[in-house]
Amino acid sequence: MNMPSQISQTLSEEFALPDLELLTITLARLLAAIVLGGLVGLERENKGRAAGVKTHILVSMGSALFVLAPLQMGIDGGDVTRVMQGIVSGIGFLGAGAILKLDNEERIQGLTTAAGIWMTAAIGMTAGMGMYMAAAVTTLAALVVVSALPRLMPDKSESTLHR
């Protein structure tokens, strides 16, 4: 086989569409991560927070892909948990960037945004593992916490702790 045809054959094998089952699983899990992460992001964006729809979708989708890829390669479950540990650590740095310490020692802003990014990563990992019900229920619970719960709490407009 000559070199150009060998290159052509290698490229066609490398970029060939996966079987229909693998393609469907990949699309379903990534779509679930996109939709669920987007719901959390939409709520945060509607409240005017720095991390909105795009950020939450990217965090959720990236987290889903980080667990989906090793699972599809047949990597052992114990090794996938190490991947998940890395995601949690990495997301911690992203969340830390969302937290601002303002003018005095008591005024902090961005804690809820950082927690939302962290939660969205967990939702994405769960969707990436194919645990759709757990991801959906967790998304609903997160939306209740950031939307409904503040309405039940006393007004903290005079507080020095800001979300």
Residue-wise pLDDT for 106-130, tens only, equals 666 778 888 899 999 999 999 999 9
- The better pLDDT of the pair 105, 137 is held by 137
Per-residue confidence (pLDDT) for residue 156, from 0 to 100 = 57
Per-residue confidence (pLDDT) for residue 101, from 0 to 100 = 58
- The better pLDDT of the pair 103, 13 is held by 13
Q: What tokens does 146 get?
A: 């950031």
Instruction: Return the number of other C-beta atoms located less than 10 Å from residue 29's C-beta.
Output: 26
Per-residue confidence (pLDDT) for residue 131, from 0 to 100 = 97
Contact 163, 145 (CB under 8 A): no
Cα separation, 35 vs 53, in Å, equals: 10
Q: Is the pLDDT of residue 90 over 90?
A: no
Residues, the chain: 163
3-state SS class at 108? strand
Per-residue confidence (pLDDT) for residue 129, from 0 to 100 = 95
Closest CA to 73 of 120, 137, 22, 27: 22
CA 101 vs. chain centroid, Å, equals 25
What pTM, to 2 d.p., does this model score? 0.80
Per-residue confidence (pLDDT) for residue 142, from 0 to 100 = 95
- Provide the pLDDT confidence category of residue 67 given band limits of 50, 70 and 90: very high
Which residues does 59 contact at the CB level (< 8 Å), separation at least 6? 37, 91, 94, 117, 120, 121, 124
Q: Is the pLDDT of residue 91 over 70?
A: yes
Q: What tokens does 43 get?
A: 């709520």
Q: Is the pLDDT of residue 102 over 70?
A: no
- Provide the pLDDT confidence category of residue 104 given band limits of 50, 70 and 90: low
Q: What tokens does 8 get?
A: 């052509």
Cα separation, 32 vs 103, in Å, equals: 40
